[in-house]
Chain A
Amino acid sequence: MVQSVANLLVWRYRGGMRAHASFEDVPRLEDLELHADIAEQMLMHLEEWLATDPVTVSDERTWPRVEDLCTEASISDQTLARIRKVAKVGHGKMGGAARNHRYSPPEVKRMLEEARRGQYLSKRRYDGWEKWAR
């Protein structure tokens, strides 16, 4: 049920882009149901949150890299690449730039959930990731 709702939500704003490549079919700002006043309020809320949230203001140098995550769960680059791909955190390839990428806690959380949902590995092997997902 969650998945079907998610698909509906994704379609609502961005589905047109996936189904059609032409410019005419891209959803326009004017097509959004969201009122401009509300969007402004939401943006203000986001800006306030960004200024205070520990995730976004934390030191990015402490976030885990590919090596950290692979070592922690004893998995290969390829397994992590597969998880990244289905969790939609970047593409599945592991080039130099991807290997050096640091993952934010929400990204790790997303990968963790996807890994469990996809049953790529046992829960026990991913327990180590939870410290990064907080």
Chain B
Amino acid sequence: MEVNLATAAESAASLRFVQARLRRLVIENITLRGILTAAVDDLAGLITAHLKSILARNLWELDLAERVLRTPADSTELRSSGHTHWVTFKGRVSRYLIPSAAAFMSGELGPGRKRENVVKTALMDLESTRASLMSPSASPHRRITKNTASEDIYWRIQVSLPPDFPAAPPDPRALELAELRRLPNEQYGIVTLYHLGGVLDAGSTRPLLPLP
């Protein structure tokens, strides 16, 4: 506990040092105020673009999972090539189907009626997930199975990623330097300006930057 307090005090002292240097820079260079102020909107634009690319990536993943689900049980075409990846999405299945769903996800469920039921349910959940991604404000779709209890489940579908499938983009909202360093230089600059703008006026009753 004492160690934690000492670390927190050290961290606050370092931040105070950064803040003092930053305030001096801003006072000396009037341009910097405009640049730091503009960084908020610039970062908002970055985050919006990031969320859009994540959404596109998620929808593509669901398309790949759907392709696998619609592939006949005896086909190995989709599972045997390329870099494999697990696509997960939430669903709800009847309790009696859970063992079959588990067997299906581990690749141990052969062709037959059980498999057809599992695939049908998974496809409905996939479609529901896709709809909620497309319009996040819509209430999540939940199927009620008549006369049987049902449970939440996470579907895990193994897919082969095509060569042009994009790598996970770096998140501009991250607070880890390793993640932020993955951003292109210009975007890293925007994130830097945003955070330093926050440090600049923290704890000050006389902010140097205009209030929003």
Contact B11 A36 (CB under 8 A): yes
A18 beta carbon closer than 8 Å to chain B:
yes
Contact B193 A2 (CB under 8 A): no
Min Cβ gap A7→B in Å is: 8
Interface size class of B (residues with CB under 8 A): 35 or more
Question: Which residue of A has the minimal Cβ distance to B9?
Answer: A30
B48 beta carbon closer than 8 Å to chain A:
yes
- Contacting residues of chain A (75-105) with chain B, CB-CB under 8 angstroms: 88-90, 103-104
Among A20-28, A64-72, A119-127, the stretch in contact with B: A20-28
Min Cβ gap A52→B in Å is: 12
Interface size class of A (residues with CB under 8 A): 35 or more
CA distance A5 to B41 in the complex (A): 9
Select one of A1, A31, A46 contacting B202, CB under 8 A.
A31
- Contacting residues of chain A (5-42) with chain B, CB-CB under 8 angstroms: 5-7, 9-15, 17-18, 23, 26-42
| Given A50-B29, A88-B37; A29-B192 close (CB under 8 Å) | no
Contact A40 B14 (CB under 8 A): yes
CA distance A15 to B180 in the complex (A): 24
CA distance A15 to B10 in the complex (A): 26
A118 beta carbon closer than 8 Å to chain B:
no
Q: Which residues of B contact A32 (CB under 8 A)?
A: 15, 198-199, 202
- Contacting residues of chain B (192-212) with chain A, CB-CB under 8 angstroms: 192-199, 201-205, 207, 209-212
Please indicate which of the listed interface residues B8, B10, B177 has the most CB atoms of chain A within 10 Å of its own CB.
Answer: B177
Contact A47 B25 (CB under 8 A): yes
CA distance A42 to B206 in the complex (A): 23
| Given A15-B212, A17-B211, A38-B175; A29-B199 close (CB under 8 Å) | yes
Contact B31 A106 (CB under 8 A): yes
CA distance A90 to B209 in the complex (A): 10
B114 beta carbon closer than 8 Å to chain A:
no
Q: Which residues of A contact B29 (CB under 8 A)?
A: 50, 56
Contact B44 A2 (CB under 8 A): yes
B143 beta carbon closer than 8 Å to chain A:
no
- Contacting residues of chain B (1-39) with chain A, CB-CB under 8 angstroms: 8, 10-16, 18-19, 21-22, 25, 29, 31-32, 34-35, 37-38
B99 beta carbon closer than 8 Å to chain A:
no
| Given A26-B205, A50-B29; A104-B47 close (CB under 8 Å) | no
In the assembled complex, 10 residue pairs joining A and B whose CB atoms fall closer than 8 Å, in A order, are A2-B41, A5-B44, A5-B47, A14-B198, A29-B19, A35-B11, A50-B29, A88-B37, A90-B210, A104-B35
